[in-house]
Amino acid sequence: MDIKWDDLRIFLAVARAESLSGAGRALKLDPATIGRRIQRLEDDLGQPFFAKSPQGYRLTEPGQRLLAHAEAAKQAVTRAAEDTPGLKGQLTGQVRIGAPDGCANYLLPQVASAIVAANPGLEMQIIALPRVFNLSKREADMAIAVSQPATGRLTVQRITDYRLHLAASRDYLEKHQKINALKDLGQHRIVGYIPDMIFDKELDYLAELGVLRTDLASNSVSVQFNLLRQGAGVGVVHDFALPAAPDLVRILPDQLELTRSFYLIRHSDDRRSDRLNRLAEALTTGLRAELARLEASLDRSPALG
């Protein structure tokens, strides 16, 4: 039997989303239709490609083998589209980027907008999740992380360093005891991560500062950021996010500064893809420039301490 690209496209969507509903949202198709197409593909080829359960669709061993061929077919289709007259030299097709929600909310929108504007045939999807992405399962085409993975067939490229500081709203600071040193934090409400939901040791900022409690906590950087804007207390904030909230003020910037790094993580097989190589270059260049711009603007702003 000849396998059509449209069948592989649907198979890929289910493999990535691990559910019919998720694949349906990605493809803008009814989940029941996708289910029928997958069943027909399995019947025609005489192989179960997914193990179905209430928890979702997991690839079987035959499914893992088909995934490699489907990914190769996707790359071939994309390369053919890029060779189409009028699109030569432009990036096209769909690409999915995973990122921690701080980067996804305060850096990637500006960078992705510029890349798509320069490449009208490109569709970028940003997945913001407070956890590590599994590229082996193709949850994303590439991911931004705050630490280097220890295992997997992956390539890792350091993008840039970024800075973090303690911060609070002006209104909160006016109503509470002055902070002259780290020990003064004992008199203040602390905003931070839920301790048992910190998915990467690099995010355990408060422990590094010797602060062992949180009065208001979330697994989301954006929720913490908005808690601080509402005057909830004191917390650690990315410097690149602060220009979006002029009501927040850095605290003790000359005494306390944390530095972390962003890394671009890719599946090793994708090194052969000129399209993904060019996208990776545009992404890293854009992130470096945008982060430098935001941090430079902050250096000219007032701080406390």
The stretch 219-230 carries a mean pLDDT of 96
Taking the C-alpha atoms of residue 36 and residue 21, their distance in angstroms, rounded to an integer, is 13
Say if CB 180 and CB 297 are below 8 A apart. no
Q: What is the pLDDT of residue 68?
A: 81
Stretch 158-181: mean pLDDT: 95
CATH 3.40.190.10 intervals, the chain: 161-257
Does the reported pTM lie above 0.85?
no
The pLDDT of residue 200: 87
CA–CA separation, 71 and 8 (whole Å) = 9
pLDDT above 60 for 271: yes
Higher pLDDT, 98 or 299: 98
Q: Is the pLDDT of residue 286 over 90?
A: yes
| Strongest mean pLDDT among 16-20, 130-134, 227-231 | 227-231
pLDDT higher than threshold 70 for residue 90? no
pLDDT at 138: 63
Q: How confident is the model at residue 298 (pLDDT cuts 50, 70, 90)?
A: confident
CA triple 297-289-226, angle to 5 deg: 55
Looking at residue 269, what is its pLDDT? Answer: 76
Average pLDDT over residues 47-62: 90
* Pairing outcome for strands 142-145 and 258-267: antiparallel
pLDDT averaged over every residue in the chain: 87
Residue 137: predicted pLDDT: 60
Distance, in Å, from the CA atom of 149 to the CA atom of 129, rounded to the nearest integer, reads 17
Longest distance between any two alpha carbons in the chain, whole Å: 75
- Residue 151: pLDDT above 90? no
Instruction: Kindly indicate the confidence band of residue 275, based on its pLDDT and cuts at 50, 70 and 90.
Output: confident
d(CA 44, CA 52): 18
* Nearest Cα residue to 154 out of 16, 1, 265, 43: 265
pLDDT reported for residue 69: 83
260-272 mean pLDDT: 87
- pLDDT score for 299: 63
For residue 89, pLDDT beyond 60: no
Instruction: Round to whole Å and give the CA distance between 212 and 230.
Output: 22
Domain 161-257 CATH superfamily: Periplasmic binding protein-like II (3.40.190.10)
Per-residue confidence (pLDDT) for residue 53, from 0 to 100: 87
pLDDT at 84: 55
- pLDDT band of 70, cuts 50, 70, 90: confident
Count CB atoms within 10 A of the CB of residue 150: 6
Q: Which range (65-74, 85-94, 181-190, 254-263) has the least confidence?
A: 85-94
Residue bearing the bigger pLDDT, 89 or 228: 228
Token pair listed for 247: 């009501």
Highest mean pLDDT: which of 68-82, 233-247, 269-283? Answer: 233-247
Domain with CATH 1.10.10.10 in the chain: 1-82
Please list, in sequence order, all residues whose beta carbon lies within 8 angstroms of the beta carbon of residue 129, skipping any fewer than 6 positions away. 98, 100, 101
Beta strand extents in the chain (DSSP E only): 50-53, 56-59, 93-99, 122-128, 142-145, 154-169, 190-192, 216-217, 234-238, 248-251, 258-267
pLDDT tens digits for range 99-138: 999 999 999 999 999 999 999 888 899 988 766 656 556 6
Tell me: pLDDT of 14 over 80. yes
Q: What is the CATH architecture of 1-82?
A: Orthogonal Bundle (1.10)
Mean pLDDT of all residues in 146-152:
83
